[in-house]
Structure 1
């Protein structure tokens, strides 16, 4: 029988190459957290795993193993082996893992070997690979590399990051949320564990292509419901800051596109025109409601009324210009004062200010920030 094992030393290569992985844990385990290159083809269903776990607790490992073989037998066993075989045929470089690289990995590998397929399993399993990714995010070597791109709401920070993929990691893209109360996307955010896993993989890839500098957007510790791990966030809070500036009208137009045109278009594409517009309307009102306590009831009510007026004009005449009224008020009364307060606290760390052209030029002039030639 083959006992091929992928050692812990190969974790980095697994994530950098995107090597296909079979996750043989139960679906409930996979849903809590997994890896971007993993596919859930479980050895046991959630119910079967629960039964075996209960048996283990009351009767010990031998009885639990016997019950597992009893539950996954005959046609059930054949179907699971066939699923693993199909995956192997499509991905001959695949390897498999369970939670710790223990019994479930070994059983799966043994059954595959009997079926004529020799597939390696990952030493340490999910737990080992997850710990490796956590250590990546907590690495002290990352902290001196960080450079924070700050800028008032609507200044175009994400645009700058996306134009410099050789040195930037997009925290908001990884969290599938744009950071503010209006930052919700129409697709769900990842679980916290998957956010951390995906962020760590992004950092590994960044280190491979540009190990001397890590450009990040200025964020609070929360991006939607995903929180940035504390050691990583502490590094961001100590890093030097570049401030991106933009004229008022440009900011308004950018937020009109992001908050109104983009979101309405995506909701309508997903749900159809009528239901999509209703979902879009709810998104705007819920976004204000999310910050109503900090706004105060009077400002919140004014903004809600302006949104209703703008939505009516948009629905009746396909005119979105009135949305600029509440966006301008939101900036003047909420986002801009909050940003100015936060920027004052970072003043000692600011190394440059300028518009997009000036920021790109300044970054290009820093030797460790230039794009690889």
Structure 2
């Protein structure tokens, strides 16, 4: 029977298909993009075996595990594993440490005529390999930071550049009080895994200079990897300076029009409209203290009017009545202050296209 003999990082560079044999709860806390959850045991079965191990020892736990995963249950899980192996002959399987679960599954597959390799060290070894990428990249590559006030399309910039890293995409959050999407944000582990794989692929492609969107220590509920964050704080900044009216229209599309469409697509017209309204009110309520109660009340009143208008089919333009003061009172002053702290690192200013062209020229 085969074990992994290739470099762990190669598995991620090649998007190698993998069977994750860990329990569903382990997978939900953090997994790899190319892995599929096909657990040896359910959460309940894993708990029973774990309790047995603590109380009666390893042998009794193994016996219980074989009893729980036997008969029709074993046949059903074998069918899923065999189907995956047949469709992905270049793949691998793993459990948490490359121990009993992966060896048991591998032996069962072997008995069924399929010699499928497992990963030595399992999930833990793969995860450690990804975590080590952050320090390597921060040490070996140069960074450039794209700044600009809210609505400057910084995320669009990083998605248009071959050497850019989309941190907000990995977090599945836009990094502001209105940052959540309809789908859940990434867990910390998934965010780190996806970011690390992005970095690994850019480095492998030969990029010596990477571009990041200007971010704080966290994006939503996830924290930036420390080596990456520290390197970003000491890197040159390129500032997008687009007109106010252009930024407003971008926010209208991103925060309102696209989110209404997304909620309706997920939940249907009536529930989608209601949930999107809750999303908008929640975003505003998160910054109530920073706005001050008087300004918060003004914006909430305008937001309510605008929501009623678009729900009646009269269009979205009235949302400008709260988006404009939100920028003027809160987001723009906040970013101007943050940018003043980075003044000595600013190397270029221009509109979106000028900044794009500058980055293409200077970071190739």
Scaled to the shorter chain, the TM-score interval is over 0.9
Equivalents in 2 of 1:152, 1:274: separation in Å?
34
The two structures, once aligned, show a CA RMSD in angstroms of 1.4
Corresponding position of 2:129: 132
Please report how far the alpha carbon of residue 140 of structure 1 lies from its aligned counterpart in structure 2 after TM superposition.
5.5
User: In the TM superposition, what whole-angstrom CA distance separates every residue of 1:42-76 from its partner, at most 9, and x where no partner exists?
Assistant: 11111221111112112222222222222222222
Give the equivalent residue in structure 2 for 1:177.
Answer: 173
Quick check: 1:177–1:183 contact (8 Å CA) kept in 2?
yes
Per the alignment, residue 247 of structure 2 pairs with 251
Whole-Å Cα distance in 2 between the matches of residues 218 and 188 of structure 1?
23
Question: How many residues get paired?
Answer: 364
For residues 271 and 70 of structure 2, what CA distance do their matches in structure 1 show? 47
| 1:5 matched to 2:3 | yes
Q: Give 1:142 shift.
A: 4.6
Task: Indicate conservation of the 8 Å contact 1:143/1:239, yes or no.
Answer: no
1:172-192 deviations in Å (ceiling 9; x for gaps): 111111111111111111211
Q: TM-score when scaled to structure 2?
A: 0.96
CA distance in 1, matches of 2:294, 2:263: 29
- Residue 110 of structure 1 is matched in structure 2 by 107
Q: Distance in 1 between matches of 2:165 and 2:140?
A: 14
| CA distance in 2 between partners of 1:261 and 1:140 (Å) | 37
Provide the C-alpha distance between the structure 1 equivalents of 2:194 and 2:216, rounded to a whole number of angstroms.
Answer: 18
Alignment of 1:1-373 (within 5 A): 2=1, 4-7=2-5, 9-139=6-136, 141-142=138-139, 144-164=141-161, 166-366=162-362, 369-370=363-364
Residue 244 (structure 1) shift: 0.9
SS of the residue corresponding to residue 353 of structure 1 reads strand
Q: Name the TM-score, length of structure 1 as normaliser.
A: 0.94
Distance in 2 (alpha carbons) for counterparts of 1:321 and 1:214: 37
CA distance in 1, matches of 2:139, 2:350: 26
- Consecutive unaligned residues of structure 1, counting only runs of 5 or more, are none
